[in-house]
Chains A and B, each alone.
Chain A
Amino acid sequence: MSTAERLMSSLTARRGERVLAWLAVGAVGVSAVLSLVASPPDAEQGGLIRLMYVHVPAAWVAYLAFAVVFVASVAYLRTRKTRWDRVAAASAEVGVLFTALTIVLGSIWAKPVWGTWWTWDPRLTTTAILLVIYVGYLAVRRLPDNPARRARWAAVVGIVGFVDVPIVHLSVRWWRSLHQAPARLIGVPDVSGSMGVALGVGFIAFTLVYLYFMALRLRVGRLEERVVAEALSPRIGQPAEALMEEPARG
């Protein structure tokens, strides 16, 4: 097994899950304290600035998750090992969650600051399009009943979608800059000192939560495969273990 696979195995083993869970809870706790209490309110936005500590890390995870979908999709097409498809599927599901969260938080932030629920901010608009692409990815996964075909189709969507996102972002940013002063991210000020620390811890905390959800989802994925293998096993006279180890063909 390659290093990547060994790392994945240790992360997703039962003990790995528990460790991740505790780390994530701890990091979120620290982050909450830092962002709600220890960091100062903003000169312009007052307490609202604290939304930044969840909105920005959530956005980071949304894009991180999609990058993982991309890498796993490429890996699947090259190696045809089902574990990469499992990673892609898991990351897409977790990613949708964080993307939706990013958008909701952005909206909640925008209303009191700009007086409107949606400011067509380029980054947020790109994130909204990313959400739809994710949803398309998950919809494609539901189509075929053949796992190999599902994995292949999803991989193509994952790759094309990821490659497209930067172009989408560029186009939306140019589009937006025509009508307003160079877009300010919804009131993100210069971060320094304690704000910077709080934000940094937020990034770590959200990444740990992402990893924990991934570990859970990967375990569910393995169980799903086992169910299919056990249903197949008597019909084709092969033990379920053998059916699971074999890479999806085609």
Chain B
Amino acid sequence: MSALGQALAIAKKDLRIEVRGRHVAGTILPFAGTLLIAFGLSLGPGRSLLRQTAPGLLWLAVLFASVLAFRQAYQAEGEDGAFESLILAPIDKASVFLGKAAAVVVELLALEAVVVGLVVVLFDLPVGHAPVVLAGAFVLGTIGLAVVGSLFGALAEMPRTREAIFPLLVLPLCTPVLVAGVKATELATTGPAGQAGSWLGLLLAFDVVVTGVGSPLFVYLVED
């Protein structure tokens, strides 16, 4: 089976586990919702401020949710030591990296759809303005988060690692996603959507770079 086929098999396996166990949907989605309400309580109740800060709060919620989503993704691997089977399989380890990232992209996109809905309700975010640009921002941004998370999520799953290391590594590295994602969302919802192009380009560049650098490096994190 080709490397791509193996990555797909791994992605399918991860998605099947998510559908069965509802880890993301069951715990992370409520968490994102709680977070948004907390944001609203701490910044509101003035509607105009909430509307202004909505894109930022949205992406913050997505960022924190993705940190949790990765812990979940690798937890299934760690529960019974199944990760060792992946490593001992004669497959390109980059397939593991990409497959897991792909599964998380799907899970996060589903999560984001709901979260965007919540933000529309709670903060009055106008999403009908330029939905394609908005979708593009979320797709590209999610890919970036998923790739970085897949890379360092492997660390969090190895024995004797403290979990707090994961957000410490991922969040600063994903700053471009936060900045570009928020700006693109702002432009897509309130500002002139045409100007979002450079931000989307930045997201794309980030995705290409972290995927290109992460793929050959993943093996060094997971092989003994």
Contacts and interface: CB of A to CB of B under 8 A. Distances in A.
Judge A-B direct contact (beta carbons within 8 Å).
yes
Interface of A: 77, 129, 132-133, 135-136, 139-140, 143-145, 149, 152-153, 155-157, 159-161, 163-164, 167-168, 170-172, 174-175, 178, 250
The 9 closest A-B pairs by CB, nearest first: A171-B176, A171-B179, A132-B172, A136-B169, A152-B220, A156-B217, A136-B168, A167-B176, A175-B179
Contacts of A149: 224
- Which bracket fits the contact residues of B? 20 to 34
Contacts of B151: 156, 160
Interface stretch (B33-41, B118-126, B204-212): B204-212
Contacts of A152: 220-221
17 contacts: A77-B220, A132-B171, A133-B172, A143-B161, A156-B217, A159-B217, A160-B210, A160-B214, A160-B217, A163-B209, A163-B210, A164-B176, A167-B209, A171-B176, A171-B202, A174-B198, A174-B202
Given A129-B175, A159-B217, 10 more contacts: A136-B172, A140-B155, A152-B221, A156-B217, A163-B213, A167-B176, A167-B209, A168-B173, A174-B199, A175-B183
A155 B220 contact: yes
A202 B210 CA distance: 35
B162 interface: yes
B97 to A, nearest CB: 11
A174 B200 CA distance: 13
B179 A143 contact: no
B61 to A, nearest CB: 19
B223 interface: yes
Contacts of A136: 165, 168-169, 172
A167 B160 contact: no
B103 interface: no
A178 to B, nearest CB: 7
B138 to A, nearest CB: 17
B206 A167 contact: yes
A132 B223 CA distance: 27
B165 A143 contact: yes
Contacts of B158: 144
B180 interface: yes
Contacts of B172: 129, 132-133, 136, 168
Nearest to A149: B224
A77 B210 CA distance: 18
Contacts of B217: 77, 156, 159-160
A149 B161 CA distance: 12
A72 to B, nearest CB: 15
B175 A159 contact: no
Interface string B162-202: 10010011011101100110010000000000000011001
Contacts of B202: 167, 170-171, 174
A56 to B, nearest CB: 23
A132 B168 contact: yes
A125 to B, nearest CB: 9
Contacts of A167: 176, 202, 205-206, 209
A129 B199 CA distance: 20
A133 B165 CA distance: 11
Contacts of B205: 167
Contacts of B176: 164, 167-168, 170-171
Contacts of A129: 172, 175
A155 B223 CA distance: 14
Nearest to A249: B224
Most buried by B among A161, A171, A174, A250: A171
